[in-house]
Amino acid sequence: MDHFLSEDQQAIVDLAKQISREMVIPKRVHYDETEEYPLDIVETLAKSDFFALFVPEEYGGLGGGCYDIVLALEQIGYGCVGIATAYAASALGAYPIIIGGSEELKQKYLPKVATGELRAAFGLTESNAGSDAGGIQTTAVLDGDEWVLNGTKQWITNGGQAHIYTIIAITDPHKGARGASMFIVEADDPGFSCGPKEKKMGIRCSATTELIMKDCRIPKDRLVGRRGTGFITVMKTLDKSRPGIASLGVGLAQAALDEAASYAKVRHQFGKPIIAFQAVQHMLADMAIETESARTLLYAAARHIDAHPKDMSKVSAMCKVKATDVAMKVAIDAVQVLAGYGFMREYPVEKMMRDAKILQIYEGTNQIQRNVIGQELNKEYTK
Amino acid sequence: MNIVVCIKQVPDAKDVRLDPETNTLSRDGVKSVINPYDRHAMEEGVRLKEEFGGRVTVVSMGPPQAKAILQEAISCGADDAILVSDRAFAGSDTLATTYTLSQAIKKTGGVDLVLCGKQATDGDTAQVGPGLAVRLDMAYVTCVKKINTVTDKVVVLERMMDDGYDEVEVDLPALLTVVKEVNTPRFPSIRGLRKARAYDIPSYTAADIGADPAQLGLGGSPTQVVRVWPPEPKGNRTMLEGSVDEIAEKLAEIFHESSIG
Ligand SMILES: Cc1cc2nc3c(=O)[nH]c(=O)nc-3n(C[C@H](O)[C@H](O)[C@H](O)COP(=O)(O)OP(=O)(O)OC[C@H]3O[C@@H](n4cnc5c(N)ncnc54)[C@H](O)[C@@H]3O)c2cc1C
């Protein structure tokens, strides 16, 4: 379907597609099997300005809108959701600074994020605080000119690979929702370390680790925004990043559909290509309908967000749920179309099925997204 | 440092077909790309600029469609691009090509370093680099596989040889032709693509570069292609199969039985 992209957007799509085709796809099996961090690809993306894309122009970036970023991520996700996650995690880690950072913090970090010299990570989740972010136990106490952080973050993407970590910690335990604040921790700050890389079902090459803070001392001015605004920054960060997860879903669904449809044309059973069987055709048709619906909602949501940046929670959650549920379903159906071959690691669809699952979980499970949408509806209908 | 990189548009090798009647390359419907070796020359120019400073100008002689590869060069980091294009250049052999390119390069002003691919994949002569150096009265080194340092006076580099490599120091200005081992060409960047879209590539005619018409195109080309034909397959071909050890053993046997052994 023609989405009438601008010339500049089409150029971004073509470049992301070229890198995906020439570098990501040829290497994805290697990175899936070795579980190594795809540094060469992340560096290539940086050199081609894909890190600059999400950084504002004032800080050396290209100031790309949500739509531009979504288009780029879709193409990289088409190649490999693990590699795309390794890239996108830097955007997630940098958003708190872009959203709430002081001018000094922005000047200090963002130009280097834009060139890829600094990779970022976002630390919210803890062992007792998953969907319920309010359950975090990491603390930050002001001691003279320094904050002292204590606690452990869990399952943090880019752990051990990032140079800067935006971390939320409790600063005023009795203040509830206003009791947490956002900080920037640098990888070599004293008292900071990362745990070993987790062994995962999918997106294996992206690094997922604990972040351990033991009397981790950071300068006072690494507080992002005002004290007590941590949860607000988290919510705004996730609202901003979720369309990115949706784009990985659309990219993955398209890739699974492409694999399934081209296989169905060449696989012969009962003297015919299996695409001649209506049961297979209908599966492919449903995969195509769902993939394009997800894409169309995503693009519409991205345009809405670019035009109305203060009103993004609902559309952002909607496109995330739709696209990632579609990705999961289409990946499962792609394996079904390839059947035994689909189950073999020799074909790419089994990896797509493993990779798709995370999209329904991270950056807020799809149940939590539905809660967000439901709460927004509740507000809208009481007006 | 002013760096000039010469690039040529060639038919994509993945797509190449011969016209069965004339035995020449059939260009109809075949995708055109930057000559693969030139891509490495371009990357080396941009890399040297980034490391040692300077400006990179890419030059291509060709039809108006060759603007596409110049645009691509800009998107990959070149500062300027010039197309040299005129009907009078049609049918140029390497002698006429080097004349035309040298005239165009002279027009760009002072140049310190000219980079070319080792050869073009369509003609495969490897003559244009050295010929151009002679025309520009520069030292040249072919088959460069690594450039170590560049100062304002010299370039220190490694030249690929059949049995290893030579380390060479060459005075500037100089012309170098590069092999693929010299680097890994980058992808375009988003900024580069934006710049390329906005960049209006100047097109120089024979008159613009002050060329002597007698030295251009078919008339300026002593080379005459008398006949083109596919080589007759010689002798018999046997494919050996098996493990490396098995193949080696069979091969030794064959050598032994024939006069070679
Ligand atoms: C590979 C990977 C990478 C990650 N990267 C990061 C990262 O970079 N930074 C970071 O901070 N976190 C990261 N996470 C954490 C991720 O965001 C959480 O896993 C996610 O938010 C869910 O939390 P949980 O796993 O603890 O599930 P739980 O919150 O324990 O949820 C369990 C189940 O209960 C459901 N549930 C919980 N509460 C409700 C409710 N109120 N209503 C309805 N259903 C509910 C959930 O939907 C889910 O199905 C990552 C996780 C993984 C697996």
- A92 CA closest ligand 1 atom index: 8
Confidence of residue B238 (pLDDT cuts 50, 70, 90): confident
Q: Is A146 a catalytic residue?
A: no
- The fold adopted by the segment(s) B2-220 is Rossmann fold (3.40.50)
pLDDT at A159: 98
- Least confident range of A256-265, A369-378, B114-123: B114-123
Per-residue pLDDT at B239 exceeds 90: no
Flag whether residue A16 sits within 8 Å of chain B, measured between CB atoms. Answer: no
DSSP β-ladder status, B139-150 and A180-186: unpaired
CA A348 to centroid of ligand 1, rounded, Å: 27
pLDDT at B261: 54
pLDDT at A100: 97
The residue-averaged pLDDT of A280-299 equals 98
pLDDT tens string B94-143: 999 999 999 999 998 889 999 999 999 888 888 999 999 999 999 999 99
Per-residue pLDDT at B200 exceeds 60: yes
Report pTM. Answer: 0.92
pLDDT at A325: 98
pLDDT at B109: 85
Per-residue pLDDT at B259 exceeds 80: no
- What does the mean pLDDT of chain B come to? 92
Q: Please state the domain extents for chain B.
A: 2-220
Per-residue pLDDT at B16 exceeds 80: no
Per-residue pLDDT at A85 exceeds 80: yes
- A153 CA closest ligand 1 atom index: 11
> Given an 8 Å threshold on Cβ–Cβ distance, is A62 in contact with B190?
yes
CA B130 to centroid of ligand 1, rounded, Å: 64
The alpha carbon of residue A239 and the mean position of all alpha carbons in its chain are separated, in whole angstroms, by: 11
